[in-house]
A and B are shown apart, each in its own frame.
Chain A
């Protein structure tokens, strides 16, 4: 269960050249939302759009493909998308909302759907959750430290940020700066240290770069909603797929990273519990599968 429950896993990418050009990896999130909008499976999607400061995203309700694409690419700091879901339903009047969510955001949405104590007529309007793999997230000031202090460049020069092959990568128009991850270590937000979910185990579809070649993404279909949508997007030709690499840089890598995140988190959870600090998760001794997200 190190990768959660899923129906199928494949390597995939958007067939749209424009999406390929601007996407983080395979452009799966953009392609799925554009397709779901076209097919009226969703009326709009809450995405991490551009904010006032460079690389500081702001949740926004995207109602067109153009708005989806304006939000393409990974941002390595907070975008409280769950917050914007209510606005999407109340202010924008959407009946079928999609959202892109990191694992913890997916957990907030799913808990709300199962136990909507104070959340009225929203749970049934969440039509699609596209989850993205997430090892950790950074406060905005941490990002500024990486860019301005460690890489020594101005944030506005950065065109793309990425994490891969043990490096935090900053791309400018004419340069690629790679910081070893040990340089970014210690700058992540603390809440991530007890997170047991790397691959968005509760999303309808989850995706991320790990496990697939450059320019492609690994995709898990998890729920019936996710499976139906992904299959029809593939049939419609907006996404192309190939079998996932089972080897060292494919599924093995994904399993290894997920296991690492979970094991590290379980250690912190057990330590905190021993100190009597509050933790919503079970201690290792309390659960059958020590890596389960419970």
Chain B
């Protein structure tokens, strides 16, 4: 897959040493348009940004040639939030934390595209279970998906999102491949996720075919298949939404699949 992305971007076919003057100018021009990316860390575990770094093969190119990281805790030494093309927001937002609320509103003002990066930002995920009364701040009780408070442009759910989907999304954004991004735009509205969506939205709607994709996709192994239907272990479900998102009967990206397969 990564090889395909590289090929797609012409990374391997265009060595810089032999670039003509024209090409250098073109690259220089592209330099200027490298999207400025910011990373905002709210109530999440940092797993989402770690997953991004797992794109070992393309990380160097990604960070040097494809995007410019302009803001982010531990990534950039900058206090004031700058203007950004894309802001990746990790974590849900705590309604009792003024600093988070302020930061989230500021992101919306400073970024062209706000991405709910990971399930905590997209669906609330594990933080949905919070009831307050815990350290370090017992009054921090209510954690909600960022789309509850601001307009979100893209959602990349996952606990964490796979390194591959992050790479594919970044590439699609750079290339303006809106077809590929359409599901991420649609998923912005999917903020109330739970394993029981499989029962309500698939089995109850007579759509389940017992293929096992949900059980394969579940990142906490909360799903087993019993008599050809998913069985959710609620004690393990983190409400990330991945089971329903990966289900072939929730949404069906036929054109993209045919394209990817060369059919």
Contacts and interface: CB of A to CB of B under 8 A. Distances in A.
B163 A120 contact: yes
B252 A294 contact: yes
Given A78-B228, A80-B225, A140-B228, A118 B209 contact: no
A83 B212 contact: yes
Interface stretch (B24-32, B88-96, B152-160): B152-160
Nearest to A281: B252
Interface in A96-127: 102, 104-105, 107-124
B240 interface: yes
Contacts, number: 171
Contacts of A105: 211-213
A111 B257 CA distance: 7
Contacts of B2: 124
B242 A118 contact: yes
B257 A110 contact: yes
Interface stretch (B15-23, B130-138, B215-223): B215-223
Interface in B232-263: 240, 242, 245-258, 260-263
A166 interface: no
A280 B252 CA distance: 6
Interface stretch (B73-81, B102-110, B199-207): B199-207
Contact of B263 (A5, A108, A278): A5
A222 interface: yes
B161 A118 contact: yes
Place the interface of chain B in its size category.
35 or more
A30 B165 CA distance: 33
A118 B163 contact: no
B183 interface: yes
Given A82-B213, A108-B212, A294 B254 contact: yes
A92 B240 CA distance: 26
B245 A139 contact: no
B212 A82 contact: yes
Interface of B: 1-2, 51, 54, 156-159, 161-165, 168, 183, 201, 205-213, 215-219, 225, 227-228, 240, 242, 245-258, 260-263
Interface of A: 4-5, 59, 77-78, 80-86, 102, 104-105, 107-124, 137, 139-141, 189-195, 201-202, 222-224, 277-281, 292-294
